[in-house]
Amino acid sequence: MFEPDAEAMPAEQLAALQTQRLRVLIDRLLAAGGVQAGRLAEAGVTGGGEVSLEDLAKLPTTNKQDLWDTYPFGLLAVPREQVVAVHGSSGTGGRPTLVSYTKGDLALWSRMCARALAAAGAGPGTIIHNAYGYGLFTGGLGIHQGAIELGATVVPASGGMTARQVRLIADLRPEILTCTPSYAIRLGEALAAAGLTPETGLSLKAGIFGAEPWTPEMSGRIEVMLGLRALDIYGLSEVIGPGVASECIVAADGLHVNEDHFLVEVLDPATAEPLPDGSRGELTFTTLTKEALPLLRYRTGDISAVSRGTCPCGRTLLKMSKVTGRNDDMLVIRGVNVYPSEIERVLLSEPAVAPDYVLVIDERNGGRELIACCERLTGRTAASPSAGRSVPGAGADPGTEVGGPVCPQDELSQRLEHRLRETLGLRVRVAMVPPGSVPRTEVGKAVRVRRWSAGEPPVPGLAG
Ligand SMILES: [Zn+2]
């Protein structure tokens, strides 16, 4: 453990610390004025001293809209000059969400990421290949600073330039890989194509993957491809970035939430009422110690459940389950609500299906049909030449196999269609497309859902 006193703190001591920090936070928010102070006043709160953890559910919430409404610096609780860095996400719809950090915030964030790396088995000197994107996105620099805080050796590979990443992994022999799950698959393909597999002595022992919803089935695929333990990390820029919660390599059955700094609640998405432990609902965080952008009860839109109890690793921090998806990722297909991750679980339960897939919402005839485009595994992995397919739509082999239906009704797709109907009550067309057709993600988050309203199919090889 990087901070055992905090990570293995007895429950009563933790509750006392959280209460004290919550009170200080409320006083700071009131002193800062602005949106959150106004809402606290409306709720009748005039000072932190009158608030306890039991009152949390009565306090006002915040959400992404508040950040947009006050863009870029409106929610600051410190003078603008004390902000030493900004990060953010491009967000859906192109409107950025910007968040600010003081020096103290960066130090806290580094410690949270150092905790995540230590929980994956890293320590001073461990070589960490960091393939999260560096930039406004919090993934790259968050892990980078955490690795330095831990005293590990970080390789700032960032996203993309996969051939160079393969070379670095072969030469530097890192033990830890950090990137999105979809890029881990991409790297696994490229490493296998270069003859580097677990059997030929790949050095990786653990991977810390996040920034996308991913299923245990995807995790299993990554573990086989890369011969490592695939661990989940959770965070969002509004709360601090990666490091809000992470899995330990000892149990690897849920993400320890750093609740000494991030108070977590699970709310009913519709009513905002708190849900009991074990029930799935919307993760909501209160940043207890952040300085520049402290947020009270920030509703993330991410769906998960929490459980308590001491972990075999010794941590007492509660665990959240893997995020199933976001409220706004939910697909509504002919009246059935479904998260893409639920479809992923069914698709990847079939060993013959490659881990890259795309869900196409076919709206061409005014309807809303769902097509799952999958590739069949070829050989050991879905390895196929990477050249020419990183630019989907840019004339990548349009004439070769496109045009005719590529085994649309073979046994495999029929089996999957049947299983999707049984499991999710959903009629999905499963289209097996030629290997390499599903666009791979080199940089940024994977786009697993595409719309098809007119014209050419969004996935080459998908027959109309
Ligand atoms: Zn643990």
The string of DSSP codes covering 364-385 is: TTSS-EEEEEEEE--SSS----
Q: Under a CB-based contact definition with an 8 Å cutoff, are residues 222 and 188 in contact?
A: yes
- What is the mean pLDDT of the segment spanning 386-395? 34
Q: For residue 158, how far is its CA from the centre of ligand 1 (angstroms)?
A: 28
Dihedral sign for Cα atoms in the order 6, 9, 13, 15: positive
Tokens 């810390």 correspond to: 208
Whether cis (ω within 30° of 0) applies to the bond prior to 312 is no
Tokens 């390895």 correspond to: 383
- What is the mean pLDDT of the segment spanning 254-268? 98
Q: For residue 175, how far is its CA from the centre of ligand 1 (angstroms)?
A: 20
The predicted pLDDT at position 336 comes to: 84
| Whole-angstrom distance, CA of residue 192 vs CA of residue 404 | 30
Q: For residue 275, how far is its CA from the centre of ligand 1 (angstroms)?
A: 23
Q: For residue 117, how far is its CA from the centre of ligand 1 (angstroms)?
A: 13
- Residue 285: pLDDT band (50, 70, 90) is very high
Q: Which helix (H) or strand (E) holds 15?
A: helix 11-32
- Residue 283: pLDDT band (50, 70, 90) is very high
Write the CB contacts of 86 (distance below 8 Å, at least 6 apart in sequence): 72, 98, 99, 100, 101, 136
Q: For residue 316, how far is its CA from the centre of ligand 1 (angstroms)?
A: 8
Q: For residue 456, how far is its CA from the centre of ligand 1 (angstroms)?
A: 48
- What is the mean pLDDT of the segment spanning 341-364? 92
Q: Is the pLDDT of residue 107 over 60?
A: yes
Q: Is the pLDDT of residue 384 over 50?
A: no
The predicted pLDDT at position 399 comes to: 32
Q: For residue 195, how far is its CA from the centre of ligand 1 (angstroms)?
A: 34
Q: For residue 464, how far is its CA from the centre of ligand 1 (angstroms)?
A: 48
The predicted pLDDT at position 313 comes to: 98
- What is the mean pLDDT of the segment spanning 442-448? 83
The predicted pLDDT at position 404 comes to: 36
- What is the mean pLDDT of the segment spanning 29-57? 96
Q: Under a CB-based contact definition with an 8 Å cutoff, are residues 416 and 372 in contact?
A: yes
pLDDT digit string, tens, across residues 59-100: 999 999 999 999 999 899 999 999 999 999 866 556 788 999
CA dihedral (265, 271, 275, 278) in degrees, to 10, reads -100
Q: Is the pLDDT of residue 122 over 90?
A: yes
pLDDT digit string, tens, across residues 200-233: 999 999 999 999 889 999 999 999 999 999 999 9
Q: For residue 247, how far is its CA from the centre of ligand 1 (angstroms)?
A: 7
Which of the 8 DSSP states describes residue 200?
Answer: G
Q: For residue 336, how far is its CA from the centre of ligand 1 (angstroms)?
A: 36
**Burial (CB count within 10 angstroms: exposed 0-12, middle 13-18, buried 19+), residue 189:** buried
Quote the percentage of the chain above a pLDDT of 90.
78
**What integer best gives the mean pLDDT of the chain?**
90
CA of residue 31 relative to chain centroid, distance? 34
Q: For residue 89, how far is its CA from the centre of ligand 1 (angstroms)?
A: 29
Q: What pTM value is reported for the model?
A: 0.87
Q: For residue 312, how far is its CA from the centre of ligand 1 (angstroms)?
A: 6
Q: Under a CB-based contact definition with an 8 Å cutoff, are residues 26 and 43 in contact?
A: no
The predicted pLDDT at position 461 comes to: 85
Report the DSSP pairing between strands 97-101 and 127-130: unpaired
Q: Which residue has the higher pLDDT, 440 or 305?
A: 305
What angle is formed at CA 218 by the lines to CA 214 and CA 172, rounded to 5 degrees? Answer: 100
Q: For residue 115, how far is its CA from the centre of ligand 1 (angstroms)?
A: 11
Both tokens of residue 448? 């697993």
Q: Which of 153-167, 288-302, 386-400 has the lowest mean pLDDT?
A: 386-400
Q: For residue 253, how far is its CA from the centre of ligand 1 (angstroms)?
A: 8
The predicted pLDDT at position 396 comes to: 33
Q: Which helix (H) or strand (E) holds 146?
A: helix 138-150
The predicted pLDDT at position 94 comes to: 60
The predicted pLDDT at position 447 comes to: 86
- Residue 407: pLDDT band (50, 70, 90) is very low
Q: List the one residue out of 248, 255, 366, 409 whose CA is nearest residue 318.
A: 255
The predicted pLDDT at position 28 comes to: 97
Q: Is the pLDDT of residue 415 over 60?
A: yes
The predicted pLDDT at position 365 comes to: 83
pLDDT digit string, tens, across residues 165-198: 999 999 999 999 999 999 999 999 999 999 999 9
Q: For residue 319, how far is its CA from the centre of ligand 1 (angstroms)?
A: 8
Q: For residue 14, how far is its CA from the centre of ligand 1 (angstroms)?
A: 17
Q: For residue 181, how far is its CA from the centre of ligand 1 (angstroms)?
A: 21
**Burial (CB count within 10 angstroms: exposed 0-12, middle 13-18, buried 19+), residue 230:** buried
Q: For residue 197, how far is its CA from the centre of ligand 1 (angstroms)?
A: 28
Q: For residue 313, how far is its CA from the centre of ligand 1 (angstroms)?
A: 4
Q: For residue 53, how far is its CA from the centre of ligand 1 (angstroms)?
A: 24
Q: Which residue has the higher pLDDT, 297 or 402?
A: 297
Q: For residue 250, how far is its CA from the centre of ligand 1 (angstroms)?
A: 6
| Whole-angstrom distance, CA of residue 150 vs CA of residue 131 | 18
Q: For residue 251, how far is its CA from the centre of ligand 1 (angstroms)?
A: 5
